[in-house]
Structure 1
Amino acid sequence: MNATAARRHEVLVLGAGYAGLSAAIQLAARTRKRGDLRVTLVNPYDTFTERLRLHLTATGRQTAELSIPELLDGTGADFVRGWVTAVDAGARTVRIDDDRVLRYDTLVYGLGSVADTAAVPGVADHAYTLDGPQDAALLADRLARLDGGTVVVGGSGLTGVEAAAEIAESHPELQVVLLGRGEPGTGLHPKAKAYLDAALARLGVQVRSGVEVAEVLPDGVELADGTVVEAAAVLWTSGTRVPPLAAAAGLTVDERGRVVTDGALRSVSHPDVYAVGDAAAIRQRYGVMHGTCQGGMPTGVHAALSILRVLAGKEPKPFRFGYYHTPVSLGRGDAVVQFTRPDDSPRRIVLTGKRAAKYKETVSAAPWPTFARMKKMPASGAVWPRGGRYTRIRNAK
């Protein structure tokens, strides 16, 4: 080993979601001409999961195959395919499922959230989820084999709404029932909520709010009041959880297991660890951020810039983020877009119908071109999509 390799600073990025991939590309692109830093990205799959489009996969629609190694090509970053099984924050090592042990000097923890299949009995055994392309494809196969019957979507949040609308439109022979404690579209402006409600009604989605699922059964769901809703398939979108790896590693986490960060996105207990995306409990003036692509990519970019500042002997700058919009697809060719204040509260501005669908499609497609732009960025700037536009950040120096 030569002297340069021995002095090389190892940055390990766990998870190639919107946040982790943003961090890896930013770091690699900015340091590819340096020999004193190496970036390694670890992910279970070599294709990028477009979580914003998994409800399409669940109805059998084809989405693009996006190769992570191809995207990283030319940046200087290494790619390791594998499942992370343990993090040793004391030894600064990560173990993956083939028993390889990877060493790091700086860790970017981006192992995001999955559906919470443990909170309600029977979910793990009998319900489908949208945690990845394979899970969505299993549901698509099940739906394609049904001649009729009922599909229950458990969870009336926006993921459940999008999935229920997509299934109802793609499979008009099926009755779709959307179950949840709250009403769909809660938190939207009344105009946006009214449009969403009308779209679900037009598609024939039966909405049952104010209900709680006590158990998922092999052939339906049992509600807290003892009522059984028969179903040929159950899709679970109610609640998320994060892997217990951060807590097991001794990192300070919140009640949901997310890494608690300081203003620069560093772990408050282990400053050599940065947490991004759904894996992080990031506090802003309006509260703790909730996980979205909209917020995930900026956290990855900021973590990369913070790492570079620290390595240059400077203090990292605090992360500041404000929400911009909430786009919700309502089948193909229809959507509602709620524009928001920075704290995610609704503004009066709302897009609906075909214009909203086109806007939603543009936003959903934006991350991959943005990643490609990041590869070519000079050291002075970073970009990510905001409402279909690009916002440039200049805080690397």
Structure 2
Amino acid sequence: MNGNVQVVVIGGGYGGVTAANSLARRDGVSVTLVNPRPDFVERIRLHQLVTGSDDAVVGFGEVLGGNVRLVVDTATRIDAGERQVSLAGGGTVSYDYLVYAVGSGAADPGVPGAAEFAHWVSDIEGAERLRSALATSASAPVTVVGAGPTGLETAAELAEAGRKVTLVCGDVLGPSLHARVRRPVARRLAALGVSVLEGAGAQVTEVTRDAVRLEDGRELPSAVTIWTAGFRVPDLAARSGLRTNTEGRLVTDSSLTCVDDERIVAAGDAAVMTDHPFRMSCQAAVQLGPAAAATILRRIGGKTPAPVRMFFAGQCLSLGRNEGVTQFSYPNDKVNALRISGRPGAGVKEIACRFTLNKLVSGARKAS
């Protein structure tokens, strides 16, 4: 391709930012990043925003290269034929290549009352609303629904801050953890005073303004209910006529290229490689962003894109500010029994958070 190549990145999360910075380092490539917020959100710190131990926000000036043009707006439709993205503000941006990195948010609970009365911590707006709700109910009981990483971290953070917390697992505590790693997690939650409900009957059937009802008939008083079970992706790809799976994720090949259009390449939670599925996570996104950029750069150079190779090391959980657990895994993301827990576990989690941000800042400097 001759002349300047225009690349539009939709989404300013971990995948979108790393893709934009990687592309902007190449001469002859102009990059525009479209994001609905004027700041970068450290999503892995949103549970800290809820209790006030971190604001979870960093200016794009720190993590986005000076060669990247930032457009604060929301993409409403992708016209693949015309190679244009329509924006909520009324404008459009044209592209030669597009990076689809719109991320994920809270899943529709599908439980009566949950959408109306429950809160979430999957995006900054939800986390801020939750923080305000907690401030007006300082001593009232809190129920966290879902015992994945987000639920575990949120429950522990609130309990350490002095809240009375019940964690409703629905099945098992920490389903993504190895059975041996669940033990220190359970001990830490118990030490913080978290009531853990798991097993038969611990499925939420209804959420009201001041209670949570379970399948076995129990009713839990709950002034603030926090729903952390599952994620969903925006429906931008489906609304744009692009092929998605049953969860709405853009379907790509092993090089992250959209199966409908080789000019569209994906990064992060909102896409799925059908032959190589990956867990929605920051750890995946920071690998997929540069990989998406590499696919586009190879196409610009007239080369065939290479299949994406991903490497996972494990999961880091903070259980309050003073303790945590690091769950190690094999490179294919299958967990094993190795762990670091207690204060060292909390230290590893904090190092992981800082390392991730520092990596974005370093990428921004190279793209300036």
- Same fold at TM > 0.5: yes
Q: Distance in 1 between matches of 2:133 and 2:292?
A: 40
Q: Distance in 2 between matches of 1:133 and 1:234?
A: 17
Structure 1: 5+ residue runs without aligned partners? 379-397
**Which of the numbers 252, 261, 268 marks the counterpart of 1:277?**
268
Aligned length: 364
Q: Distance in 2 between matches of 1:204 and 1:306?
A: 49
Per-residue CA deviations over 1:104-158 (Å, capped at 9, x if unaligned) read: 1111000111011352232221111113223212212222232422101111111
Q: Distance in 2 between matches of 1:117 and 1:91?
A: 33
Q: What is the Cα deviation at residue 56 of structure 1?
A: 0.5
Per-residue CA deviations over 1:291-330 (Å, capped at 9, x if unaligned) read: 1111111100011111111101111111011211111111
Letter in 1 for 2:149: L
Q: What is the Cα deviation at residue 192 of structure 1?
A: 1.5
Structure 1 residues 360 and 143: alpha-carbon distance in aligned structure 2, compared to 1, 3 A threshold: same
SS in 1 for 2:315: strand
Structure 1 residues 317 and 88: alpha-carbon distance in aligned structure 2, compared to 1, 3 A threshold: same
SS in 1 for 2:39: coil
Q: What is the Cα deviation at residue 283 of structure 1?
A: 4.3
Q: What is the Cα deviation at residue 377 of structure 1?
A: 4.6
Residue equivalent to 1:24: 20
Q: Distance in 2 between matches of 1:283 and 1:361?
A: 33
Deviates more, 1:181-190 or 1:322-331: 181-190
Q: Does 1:189 align with 2:169?
A: no
Q: Distance in 1 between matches of 2:56 and 2:208?
A: 34
Residue equivalent to 1:200: 189
Per-residue CA deviations over 1:173-228 (Å, capped at 9, x if unaligned) read: x3211112221123423332110010011111111113222222111222234432
Q: Does 1:365 align with 2:354?
A: yes
Q: Does 1:100 align with 2:91?
A: yes
Structure 2 counterparts to residues 239-278 of structure 1, below 5 A? 239-278=230-269
Per-residue CA deviations over 1:204-257 (Å, capped at 9, x if unaligned) read: 111111322222211122223443222100111011111111011111111100
**Which of the numbers 146, 156, 166 marks the counterpart of 1:155?**
146
Structure 1 residues 79 and 355: alpha-carbon distance in aligned structure 2, compared to 1, 3 A threshold: same
Per-residue CA deviations over 1:336-362 (Å, capped at 9, x if unaligned) read: 101101222222321011111111101
Q: Distance in 2 between matches of 1:54 and 1:65?
A: 9
Q: Distance in 2 between matches of 1:118 and 1:187?
A: 19
SS in 2 for 1:178: strand
TM-score, length-scaled by structure 2: 0.94
Per-residue CA deviations over 1:71-112 (Å, capped at 9, x if unaligned) read: 3353x1100001122222222211111111111111100011
Deviates more, 1:186-195 or 1:102-111: 186-195
Query: Does structure 1 retain, via aligned residues, the 8 Å contact 2:178–2:337?
Result: yes
Q: Distance in 1 between matches of 2:151 and 2:15?
A: 23
Q: Distance in 1 between matches of 2:138 and 2:11?
A: 39
Q: Distance in 2 between matches of 1:366 and 1:288?
A: 25
Query: Does structure 1 retain, via aligned residues, the 8 Å contact 2:45–2:54?
Result: no
Name the % identity: 37
Letter in 1 for 2:89: D
CA RMSD of aligned residues (A): 1.8
TM-score, length-scaled by structure 1: 0.87
SS in 2 for 1:19: helix
